[in-house]
Amino acid sequence: MRTVSLFATWDPKPDFVLGSKDIEGKLTYLGSKVWRNPYVKIVDKEVREPGPTEVLLEVKACGICGSDVHMYQTDKDGYIFYPGLTAFPSTLGHEFSGKVVKAGEKAINKRTNKKYEVGEAVCSEEMMWCSYCRPCADGYPNHCENLHEIGFSCDGAYAKYIVVDARYLWSIEGFRKLYGEDKMWLLGSLVEPTSVAYHAVITRGGGIIPGENVVILGAGPVGAAACAVLRRAGANAVILSEPSEARRKMALAMGATHVIDPKSENVADAVLKITNGHGAKLILEATGLPSVVWKDVERIIWEGRAVNTTVVVVARADDKIPLTGEVLQVRRANVVGAQGHSGHGVFPNVISCISSGMDVSHMITKKIKLDEVEQNLKMLQTDRDEVKITLTNFD
């Protein structure tokens, strides 16, 4: 089968120190410190047989994530932007849905508690947690000590077929009746980024009480999905800041109640005006530019009347946050980080929300075929109008 795979040179920066879980020349948890001169090409690979607990899927839809773009995008010295777990060469693609082609005897469907049947529609987590390390045993699979990630450190779904262990799969058959088969596959590919947003604002951010205000900085897929999740959770004002007009319009369709163009108005001033000086219970940093937006974040907290504001940092970036402790102390605010989407009931809850009408498909702005992946990875490095570009033709 044809796959879109990424290659890069292992060339550590002078300040890089090989970590205890890194593998010299192959795998690192600090991608932007090591990998240089990435390139993408179409590679033919064999379709392997699934093991006893595994499932062979025919991929039906796979979205391009900002992480994919940042694994291909480089700084002036040729180092990749993406700062996290990576092992190259690897087939890209981790936001996907697919149809069961073959299942191992112990590949159990969580929907039926029986072996997966051929034809079942599923989506997948991309965090391949081990289940036996201390963080996994304590209930924190997103921080697994033996973590692998589909499309980052092992082969992903920019391919017609992929084999995945059943533990990471979730049925999306509940989408079929409400949305029809074609849209079911598209929505299935959006469960993963929507789950990242859900985990950030509900699990890590602590959620909201209906009627509270929220601010979302950045209308990429995670920020856009957060609009849908928080509006469904009962937020009064869902205020989104985003420089792209196209993305602002999309966010309104996703659930934002107010949108701000940070190029033409001050974000903190606008938020305080919209909320009549109250501020926000939750602020989501989804721009990947915390050093740029943090001044506004702290003004919203400091000048707003709300106490106990939680700021959730979800965007991955090798960037420093210019934090003022006094703001957090006096306003009883806190800052938390969010990684991943596994555990805590996140995937099944997102699937339930979509099954009952939370349509997040507005974020899909373009559909492409396998041969068009590379050019779109390049285009997304500068284009701010496209949101989710989805691969639907794998031939």
Catalytic residue among 5, 32, 67, 244: 67
Per the annotation, the verdict on 94 as an active-site residue is no
Quickly list H helices, the chain: 66-72, 134-137, 176-179, 181-198, 221-232, 245-254, 267-274, 290-303, 325-330, 346-355, 373-379
Cβ neighbors of 376 (< 8 A, separation 6 or more) are 64, 366, 368, 389
Q: Which two tokens stand for residue 354?
A: 């979509």
Task: Give strand pairing partners of 177.
Answer: none
Report the C-alpha gap between 163 and 12 in whole angstroms: 32
- Burial per residue of 160-188, b for 16 or more beta-carbon CB atoms within 10 angstroms, e otherwise: bbbbbbbbbbbbbbbbeeebeeebbbbbb
* DSSP secondary structure code for residue 74 in this structure: B
Backbone angles phi, psi at 18, to 5 degrees: -60, 125
Quickly list H helices, 73-133: none
Residue 229 burial by Cβ neighbours in a 10 Å radius (0-12, 13-18, 19+): buried
Cβ neighbors of 303 (< 8 A, separation 6 or more) are 268, 272, 277, 279
Report the C-alpha gap between 18 and 20 in whole angstroms: 7
Task: Indicate the helix (H) or strand (E) that contains 3.
Answer: strand 2-10
Closest CA to 261 of 291, 229, 289, 239: 239
* Beta carbons within 10 angstroms of residue 26's beta carbon: 11
Catalytic residue among 70, 94, 199, 344: 70
Report the C-alpha gap between 234 and 379 in whole angstroms: 36
Per the annotation, the verdict on 148 as an active-site residue is no
Q: Catalytic site residues?
A: 67, 70
